[in-house]
Each structure stands twice: as C-alpha cells, then as structure tokens.
C-alpha cells in the first residue's frame, strides 16, 4: 500500500523538524543550565584571584593562565608541524601509497580517545623524558592530539587554492618554496587559521589528556616546567571531590563562554573564506 505523497511529505517534515528541535534544545539546555548556575559566581575577582583552599574560595586566575599556557604551547608545536606536513603532502610529493598512509595515520590519530593520549604523554614526556607534570608535557601531548585536525584542515585549505596559481608562479620561474610562501599560503591562510582556531577550542576543553601530563597544581605557573591546572581539570576536581559546586559551575561557565567565543570567531572566518573563494 502506498502512502499518499502529501502525507509522506508532511510526515518527513515533522520528523526532520523534531530532530532539529531536539538538537537545538539539548544544546541550549546545556548552555543555559551551566550559565544559570555559573554566571552568579562570575565576577572580576573570580577571574583575577588565585584559588584558595583547594578552590573552595578565591577565583580561578591560575587555571586560566594554565589553560592559556598549555594551549599556546600546543599551538606553537602543532601549527608548524601540521602546516608543514600539509604543505609537504600537498605540494612536494605526488599522490602515492606513502601519502595515503600518512593521511590514514593522521585520521587514525584523530580518532584515538584523549585519555590514551594522556597515558602516552604521561609515559613519554612525564616519565621517560623527565619533564614531569608540566606545561611542557601537557602542551606536547595536546599538540599531538590536535595535529591531525591541523593537518587535515590545512590540506583542505591548500587544495582549495586554484591549480593555475601554482602553474603561473612556476612558469614565471619562481622556486617551489617561493610559490608556496608568496602565492599558496596567503590564499590558504584563512582556511589554515580556521583549523588552528578549531584546535584551540579542542585544547581549551581537553581534560583527560591534560590531567595526566600537566598535573593539577594550583599555583600560578612560572615556567614551562611548572605543573599547572587547566580550567577543565579544575572543574573536574571541584565537582568530583565535591569541593565547591558553585565554583565548579563558575569555572564551567567561563569555559563554555570561551569556547563559544572561539567558535564564533571560527565561524566568521570560515564564512569569509567561503565567500572569497566561491
């Protein structure tokens, strides 16, 4: 028996509409819930004071610094590595089995749960290389975690640069490196930046990989070898140990807002990128 097309049309519409509504609702619910509980705690002193009594009182300043330091460290390592790899794969080699294996490897890396990265970073950086729980160990671990994203988005951005730019540049007698730096990278930059910012979002929110490698010290970090607690780790510990739920929510609110901000920036950049090249 056939369903009348009109009815089917209606039915599909309702189903799809409800799915979208559920998605949006869940999202808004989470954000609203966290903000409703967290915003009342937020104040200038919450942002600028260090935590006291394990975080029961005081603010979250040192964890903000820790988060920024770890993210900066991760980016400083992963951006050149990732963009370099993407340039190599896209500009300096022919498609071959090797490039496919590298790409496949990057994709697999992207799928590994972050706690495994944490364990790996703990064994390699904290123990074997003797960096201890530190911004260095945590940053390097995060770097490996975001590397695949940066490689893939950079490759995508490089691939969207018209072939003709490459041909013209070389036909004018430029070297390959001149071609890359003067023609390709400027055109691909917005796409690459988008990938980097997406990774910032990921690093800011990461907990499992960081708690094993950067530790959870509440002092303000003073060097790359200081152990430091990030906002997400701070939230985790405050909530799990039941130290202070209001402060946990306050931290969560700051986290959510910063990630929201990062995503808005990414979204705008992407938008500009798409407009420019379509």
Where along the sequence are the contacts to another protein (CB under 8 A)?
Answer: 94-95, 162, 164-175, 178, 182-183, 186-187
Taking the complex as a whole, the smallest distance from the CB of residue 180 to another protein amounts, in Å, to 12
Q: Which is nearer to another protein, 152 or 166 (CB)?
A: 166
DSSP per residue, the chain: -PPPHHHHHHHHHHHHHHHHHHHHHHHHHHHHHHHHHHGGG--HHHHHSPEEGGGTEE--HHHHHHHHHHHHHHHHHHHHHHHHHHHIIIIIS-S-HHHHHHHHHHHHHHHS-HHHHHHHHIIIIIIIS---SSHHHHHHHHHHHHHHHHHHHHHHHHHTS-HHHHHHHHHTT--HHHIIIIIIHHHHHHHHHHHHHHHHHHHHH--HHHHTTT----SPP-STTS----HHHHHHHHHHTTS-HHHHHHHHHHHHHHHHHHHHHHHHHHHHHHHHH-
**CA contacts within 13 A on the Cβ side of 90:** 26
Taking the complex as a whole, the smallest distance from the CB of residue 120 to another protein amounts, in Å, to 37
Report the C-alpha dihedral over residues 249, 250, 256, 260, rounded to 10 degrees: 150
Taking the complex as a whole, the smallest distance from the CB of residue 188 to another protein amounts, in Å, to 11
Taking the complex as a whole, the smallest distance from the CB of residue 159 to another protein amounts, in Å, to 16
Q: Which is nearer to another protein, 122 or 273 (CB)?
A: 273
Q: Which is nearer to another protein, 120 or 165 (CB)?
A: 165
Taking the complex as a whole, the smallest distance from the CB of residue 162 to another protein amounts, in Å, to 8
Residue 252's alpha-carbon distances to 30, 39, 160, 189, in angstroms, are 11, 9, 37, 32
Q: Which is nearer to another protein, 174 or 263 (CB)?
A: 174
Q: Which is nearer to another protein, 42 or 184 (CB)?
A: 184
Q: Which is nearer to another protein, 170 or 239 (CB)?
A: 170
Q: Which is nearer to another protein, 37 or 166 (CB)?
A: 166
Taking the complex as a whole, the smallest distance from the CB of residue 276 to another protein amounts, in Å, to 8
135 within 8 A of 73, measured Cβ to Cβ: yes
Taking the complex as a whole, the smallest distance from the CB of residue 267 to another protein amounts, in Å, to 23
């Amino acid at each position: 028996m056939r369903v009348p097309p009109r009815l089917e049309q209606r039915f599909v519409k309702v189903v799809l509409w409800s799915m979208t509504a559920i998605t949006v609702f869940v999202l808004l619910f989470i954000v609203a819930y966290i903000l409703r509980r967290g915003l009342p705690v937020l104040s200038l002193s919450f942002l600028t004071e260090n935590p006291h009594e394990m975080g029961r009182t005081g603010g979250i300043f040192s964890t903000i610094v820790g988060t920024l330091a770890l993210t900066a460290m991760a980016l400083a390592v992963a951006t050149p590595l990732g963009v370099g790899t993407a340039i190599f794969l896209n500009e300096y080699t022919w498609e071959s089995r090797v490039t496919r294996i590298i790409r496949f490897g990057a994709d697999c890396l992207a799928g590994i749960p972050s706690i495994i990265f944490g364990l790996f970073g703990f064994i390699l950086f904290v123990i074997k290389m003797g960096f201890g729980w530190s911004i260095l160990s945590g940053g390097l671990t995060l770097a490996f975690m975001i590397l695949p994203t940066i490689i893939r988005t950079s490759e995508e951005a490089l691939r969207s640069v018209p072939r003709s730019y490459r041909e013209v540049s070389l036909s004018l007698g430029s070297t390959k490196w001149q071609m890359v730096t003067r023609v390709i990278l400027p055109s691909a930059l917005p796409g690459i930046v988008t990938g980097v910012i997406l990774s910032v979002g990921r690093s800011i929110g990461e907990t499992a990989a960081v708690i094993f490698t950067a530790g959870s010290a509440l002092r303000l970090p003073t060097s790359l070898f200081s152990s430091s607690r990030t906002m997400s780790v701070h939230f985790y510990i405050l909530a799990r140990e039941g130290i202070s739920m209001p402060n946990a929510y306050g931290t969560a609110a700051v986290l959510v807002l910063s990630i929201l901000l990062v995503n808005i920036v990414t979204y705008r950049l992407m938008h500009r990128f798409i407009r420019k090249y379509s």
